Amino acid sequence: MFNQELVLKQRAEILHALCSSGSTEHLERVLDILLSQGELIWEEYQSIQVQGRALYTNVRQLLDLVYTKGEDTCEFFLAAVKQVLPEAQGAGITFSGCCSNLEKTGESQCTSIQTLLTQRASLVTKIRACIDGALEALVESGHFTSADCDEVLLPIHTPSQKARRLLDHVRSKGESAAKVLLHYIHESESSLNQEKWTLSKEFSKYRKKLSSSVSAQSCFLSSYGGTSHMPLDEIYTEGQLELANGCADLSGALDLDNIVSAAGTVNDEADTVLVSGEAGSGKSTLLQRLHLLWARGVALKGFLLLFPFSCRRLNSEQRELSVQELLFQHCCWPDKEQEEIFQFILDHPHLILFSFDGLDELKQGFSDEHRVCCPTQRAPVHILLFNLLQGSLMKGVRKVVTSRPDAVGPMLKKHLRKEVLLKGFSPSGIDCFVKKHHRDPTVAAKVLESLQMNTALLGLCHSPVLCWIVSECHKELLGCGEGSPQTITDVYLMILQHFLQHQSPLKSTVGLGWLQEHIKAVLHLGQLAFEGIGTSCYIFTDTDLETCYVTEKDICMGFLILSKDMSSTHSKRYEFLHVTIQCFFAALFIVLSNNTDRSTIHKLFELQNMKGTGLSSTWFMGCIPFSDQQGQGLEGESVIAETSNLQITATFVSGLLSQRHRNLWLHCCSSAVMEKKVRQVVKCLSKGMHKHFKSIPQPVEGEKKSMHAMPGFVWLIKCIYEMQECKIAKDAMSKLEVDHLKLTYCNIGPVECTALAYALQYLRKPVGLQLDYNSVGDVGVEQLLPCMHICNSLHLRNNNITDEGIRKLIAKGIQCDNFQKIALFNNKLTDACTLHFSLLLKTKQNFLSLRLGNNNITAEGAKQLAEGLKFNHSLRYLGLWGNKISDTGAEALASALEGSKTLVWLSLVGNGVGSAGAYALAKVIESSTSLEELWLTENCITKAGVECLIQALERNTHVKSVWLRNNDLSWEEVEEMTRYESRLIF
Ligand code: ADP
């Protein structure tokens, strides 16, 4: 009854997994498989797949049916769900016990109709690519009428659904129609393999023109524009790419080509790949690199044309355009034969790639309300863009779009083929970047050395934009000795000083006067930036510059660069070197100007609560003294809340008002005004924190008080860190009274770890800190050390941590009395880390829980752990699921655990443990007075091994269960052993 039971027990979870996307595709694929396997007959299929009925109802009907059909069907059903939704396993659905190979049907196919059934799943995929041709063949052979074709091609169907409808229709027409279809598919498969395009002369010319224009746009990195021309080839450093959560896992790192490859695809029907990352994580640079490699013919070779767009620039397109106009006017104009070239694009969508950089900067938030399906129909550019992304326009053309994570809501996520996360530089990436930036190896070595001595700054350098600034300002960095930058504001002040002094190197001002000397220019640029942030404007015209009194001289400082534009506008437009620099100048304006509204600071910090209301930007505009033209043009439209930029600006405001920088402002503005602004910020931070703490629900009796960070919590912590005033941090933290702080999936990298540790160290009472599913990494781990003394448990599942991170963590953890539990599931640990855990176990006699699942620990590592376990008298939970400790490792652990009086729970699931291991573990069962659960699922234990366990259990009444699913046992053996011992769970 095992699989049947699994289906029943997990009914809610399976229902959710199959329905949560809102698309019927998952259900239909499961049905395809069950039909192929003969587990469903045609009539049953039809009784489930009722068109127009709620998806949930259809899935429930299927669940009822497979359950009543019994164990075998349930087994195939679970296997089908596993195949269609591999990520469901990670999300908690158990499949153990279901057969894994669905390919073998064991039946010989005799008729074509049967083949349509037995190969249904793969036929759906094949037909999708050639549906029009298949219909034509069926019409020509007299099997289909045009009414049949219309029914198949109903526009509400997705391509897969069309393919299924086609199969169903052919089935109803009989054997000879099925033969025609199979023959057609076979023919078109062989001709597809040899597809050749005869490209016309004009098309080839156009392609050349487009690629040289793309190449010219992408060969230099614009952030170096103000100082030097830096070829992308010379500076480009690989960033860390990961598939977003929920995507099937890939072994090894992702490279650029993986962005458009099939790897990690979650929705076959969708064309859009999202690359998401925080501001400055390198999204634009990554696209630039992709463009350049494509133009050179080195990457993305499958795409004949690549059309790059910047959402920032699309914002200023006021006209309504058709797709054709959008492509030709914004990217590259064909000198001749526009229609022919466009027709080729329409006919070969799979050979075309569009890229859209910075979706978060588009003034309108994504919506799928306004449909445009015709490529010659004109519409506002954002509507075109949304239709392209969701595939109602130019279906089949692959689209890559970049955005900050916050700006992508569930409405767009539904239309994503996959999501790739860009997580900045790895530690070796930082090293590599600095060496590329400084060709003089001694300078590079000095910069790297100073980073090693300042781990907070090293943490910041994971963000490429900060790494660039730090490298750019190496003279300032190396000259500042003890006062080396700690915060993001420090780093941006460094680049401010660098550029300002670069401006007048001869009379380079000593001391703090450098700002005072350039205060006017700073205020001009500040005003421009501030107005831009308030109105989601990042490109400025001459008129905008004039309105803010920005002069030629101010431009020459290097913070503003000429905006690259592939469209043919003649007037000059400017943008800040990077959006974070614009935020920094906006913050300088808020801090230094007397012209801002008194409530500006208050509104800036309060905005976080307005997220998603669409009101925030317009509301914030009320603070702006002069409304610029583009801002006015926005009135009445759905203005997307630029919360992320406002948050960055607020973070800088906190940093600039820090006590440490107040001397800088001494001669630039009145200290009374400054004090007032400081008080305002402190109040806002305290109020913000208070709001979070108030939201913590009272715990259920007997449970711990737990807080899951709400959006904005980490940002507030970062603001507190920027202020670098322990009193403020202490005050804020004194009000936080929780036992458990949950910050899972919060985009926490090294920078956030530094801020968190800074604030959390002031907690009054120890907490459990849960940081699962973030990007903490080794550097982040090091940043967390200052708050280790206050952590009683640390959850760091899925965080890219290696043995090196563990070395530092444990060295500190050993000294912390409170530290009792650690969970490190799915990191990059090997045997090299076990030495440290062994020492921890030997030293800390109050340590309770060690979970190291899904790492790379072998028998050697297990032996090391065993060394520590021998001397430990406190550990209650030991989890090693999904490692490779084998029999030898299990024997070593068992021998250390014999007679244990504390261990309650031990998991060696999926470790290649055989009967020798089971034999050794039986001795633990026999001798331990504490053990309650032993997990040995997914190993290779045979009957002999289980018999030892049974014998041991006869002498132990404490043990509640021994899990043995998926071992080397026959069905009969399982039945027999269950009869002997009910605590064995198969
Ligand atoms: P985002 O688009 O995520 O805001 P950018 O791509 O504009 O970030 O990166 C900001 C700056 O950081 C760039 O101008 C460049 O100086 C530096 N940078 C980013 N990624 C890389 C990279 N892969 N290699 C070298 N420098 C990079």
Residue-wise pLDDT tens digits, 698-734: 767 777 777 787 778 999 999 999 999 999 999 988 8
Indicate which residue's Cα is closest to atom 23 of ligand 1: 237
SS3 at position 544: helix
Tell whether the model's pLDDT for residue 366 goes beyond 60. yes
For residue 422, the ligand 1 atom closest to its alpha carbon is 3
Measured CA to CA, the distance from residue 422 to residue 908 in angstroms comes to 34
pLDDT value at position 25? 83
Report yes or no: 429 and 396 within 8 Å, Cβ to Cβ: no
Measured CA to CA, the distance from residue 728 to residue 725 in angstroms comes to 6
Q: Confidence band (pLDDT; 50, 70, 90) for 735?
A: confident
Mean pLDDT value across the chain = 86
Report yes or no: 900 and 930 within 8 Å, Cβ to Cβ: yes
What is the best residue among 468, 559, 561, 582 to mutate for testing ligand 1's pocket, by most ligand atoms within 8 Å of CB? 468
Measured CA to CA, the distance from residue 557 to residue 119 in angstroms comes to 66
Token reading at 490: 């420090």
- Phi and psi at 541, nearest 5°, equal -90, 175
**690 torsion bin: left (phi>0), alpha (psi -120 to 50), beta (else):** alpha
Measured CA to CA, the distance from residue 238 to residue 240 in angstroms comes to 7
pLDDT in tens, 470-484: 998 888 888 776 678
Count of helix runs (H) and strand runs (E) in the chain: 49, 23
Contacts of 449 (CB under 8 A, 6+ apart): none
By CB neighbour count within 10 A (0-12 exposed, 13-18 middle, 19+ buried), where does 970 fall? exposed
CA of 574 to the centre of ligand 1 (A): 18
For residue 223, the ligand 1 atom closest to its alpha carbon is 14
CA of 285 to the centre of ligand 1 (A): 5
Instruction: Between 733 and 694, name the one with better pLDDT.
Output: 733
pLDDT in tens, 944-962: 999 999 999 999 988 999 9
Measured CA to CA, the distance from residue 986 to residue 977 in angstroms comes to 9
CA of 286 to the centre of ligand 1 (A): 7
Using CA atoms, how far residue 231 sits from 222, 425, 430, in Å, is 9, 19, 18
For residue 578, the ligand 1 atom closest to its alpha carbon is 7
CA of 287 to the centre of ligand 1 (A): 10
Instruction: Between 766 and 265, name the one with better pLDDT.
Output: 766
Token reading at 158: 């997705």
CA of 424 to the centre of ligand 1 (A): 9
pLDDT value at position 510? 54
Indicate which residue's Cα is closest to atom 11 of ligand 1: 465
Which residues lie across from 768 on neighbouring strands? 740, 793
pLDDT value at position 637? 31
CA angle 571, 312, 467 (to 5 degrees): 110
Contacts of 49 (CB under 8 A, 6+ apart): 27, 28, 31, 58
| Placement of tokens 């309504």 in the chain | 320
Token reading at 301: 């070779």
What average pLDDT does range 489-493 have in this prediction? 93
CA of 645 to the centre of ligand 1 (A): 17
Instruction: Between 87 and 356, name the one with better pLDDT.
Output: 356
Where does ligand 1 bind, in terms of residues with CB under 6 Å? Answer: 221, 223, 235-237, 239, 277, 279-285, 433, 464-465, 468, 578
pLDDT in tens, 861-902: 999 999 999 999 999 999 999 999 999 999 999 999 999 999
Measured CA to CA, the distance from residue 290 to residue 769 in angstroms comes to 39
**Alpha helix ranges (H) inside 535-635:** 542-547, 552-556, 579-592, 600-606, 616-621, 629-633
Residue 623: name the closest of 578, 653, 579 by CA: 653
Tell whether the model's pLDDT for residue 631 goes beyond 60. no
What average pLDDT does range 17-25 have in this prediction? 81
CA angle 361, 364, 369 (to 5 degrees): 140
Measured CA to CA, the distance from residue 618 to residue 634 in angstroms comes to 9
Indicate which residue's Cα is closest to atom 9 of ligand 1: 282
Q: Which of 285-289, 425-429, 664-668 has the lowest mean pLDDT?
A: 664-668
For residue 579, the ligand 1 atom closest to its alpha carbon is 4
Instruction: Between 69 and 99, name the one with better pLDDT.
Output: 69
Instruction: Between 503 and 649, name the one with better pLDDT.
Output: 649
pLDDT value at position 1? 54
For residue 285, the ligand 1 atom closest to its alpha carbon is 6
What average pLDDT does range 602-609 have in this prediction? 75
Q: In 56-163, where do the E strands start and end?
A: none
Rounded to the nearest angstrom, the gap between the alpha carbon of residue 962 and the centroid of all alpha carbons in its chain is 37
pLDDT in tens, 148-186: 888 888 877 777 888 888 888 888 888 888 888 888 887
CA of 221 to the centre of ligand 1 (A): 8
What is the best residue among 423, 465, 575, 577 to mutate for testing ligand 1's pocket, by most ligand atoms within 8 Å of CB? 465
Taking the CA atoms of residue 50, residue 53, residue 56 and residue 60 in that order, the dihedral angle to the nearest 10 degrees is -40
Tell whether the model's pLDDT for residue 622 goes beyond 60. no
What is the best residue among 227, 233, 285 to mutate for testing ligand 1's pocket, by most ligand atoms within 8 Å of CB? 285
CA of 385 to the centre of ligand 1 (A): 24
pLDDT value at position 102? 63
By CB neighbour count within 10 A (0-12 exposed, 13-18 middle, 19+ buried), where does 416 fall? buried
CA of 968 to the centre of ligand 1 (A): 52
For residue 580, the ligand 1 atom closest to its alpha carbon is 4
Residue 809: name the closest of 761, 776, 857 by CA: 776
Report yes or no: 909 and 936 within 8 Å, Cβ to Cβ: yes
pLDDT value at position 325? 92
Which residues lie across from 854 on neighbouring strands? none
Q: Confidence band (pLDDT; 50, 70, 90) for 640?
A: very low
DSSP 851: E
Tell whether the model's pLDDT for residue 569 goes beyond 70. no
- Biggest distance spanned by C-alpha atoms of the chain: 92
Tell me which range, 65-69, 244-248, 294-298, 811-815, is most confidently predicted by mean pLDDT.
Answer: 811-815
- Which element (helix H / strand E) includes 66? helix 55-69
- Which element (helix H / strand E) includes 452? helix 441-453
Measured CA to CA, the distance from residue 703 to residue 700 in angstroms comes to 5
pLDDT value at position 284? 94
What average pLDDT does range 427-440 have in this prediction? 91
Q: How far apart are the first and last CA of the chain?
A: 11
Token reading at 4: 């049947």
For residue 221, the ligand 1 atom closest to its alpha carbon is 14
Q: Confidence band (pLDDT; 50, 70, 90) for 191?
A: low
Using CA atoms, how far residue 882 sits from 31, 311, 553, in Å, is 31, 44, 62
CA of 674 to the centre of ligand 1 (A): 34
For residue 433, the ligand 1 atom closest to its alpha carbon is 25
Residue 278: name the closest of 715, 722, 857, 847 by CA: 715
pLDDT value at position 663? 83
**300 torsion bin: left (phi>0), alpha (psi -120 to 50), beta (else):** left
Token reading at 383: 């509507």
Tell whether the model's pLDDT for residue 616 goes beyond 60. no
CA of 494 to the centre of ligand 1 (A): 18
Instruction: Between 436 and 502, name the one with better pLDDT.
Output: 436
Measured CA to CA, the distance from residue 893 to residue 859 in angstroms comes to 9
For residue 278, the ligand 1 atom closest to its alpha carbon is 3
DSSP 578: S
DSSP 157: S
- Phi and psi at 748, nearest 5°, equal -90, 120
Measured CA to CA, the distance from residue 704 to residue 689 in angstroms comes to 21
For residue 239, the ligand 1 atom closest to its alpha carbon is 23
pLDDT value at position 500? 85
Indicate which residue's Cα is closest to atom 25 of ligand 1: 236
Q: Confidence band (pLDDT; 50, 70, 90) for 140?
A: confident
For residue 281, the ligand 1 atom closest to its alpha carbon is 3
pLDDT value at position 634? 37
SS3 at position 855: coil
Indicate which residue's Cα is closest to atom 21 of ligand 1: 282
Tell whether the model's pLDDT for residue 248 goes beyond 70. no
Report yes or no: 980 and 954 within 8 Å, Cβ to Cβ: no
Contacts of 506 (CB under 8 A, 6+ apart): none
For residue 577, the ligand 1 atom closest to its alpha carbon is 14
| Placement of tokens 């037995």 in the chain | 118
Using CA atoms, how far residue 800 sits from 775, 783, 804, 851, in Å, is 6, 15, 11, 15
- DSSP-derived pairing of the beta strands 560-562 and 574-576: antiparallel
Measured CA to CA, the distance from residue 688 to residue 717 in angstroms comes to 10
> How many other CB atoms are found less than 10 A from the CB of residue 24?
19
CA of 356 to the centre of ligand 1 (A): 16
CA of 460 to the centre of ligand 1 (A): 14
Tell whether the model's pLDDT for residue 613 goes beyond 90. no
Token reading at 896: 């250390």
CA of 422 to the centre of ligand 1 (A): 11
CA of 420 to the centre of ligand 1 (A): 16
pLDDT in tens, 504-529: 655 545 566 778 888 999 999 999 99
For residue 222, the ligand 1 atom closest to its alpha carbon is 14
CA of 260 to the centre of ligand 1 (A): 20
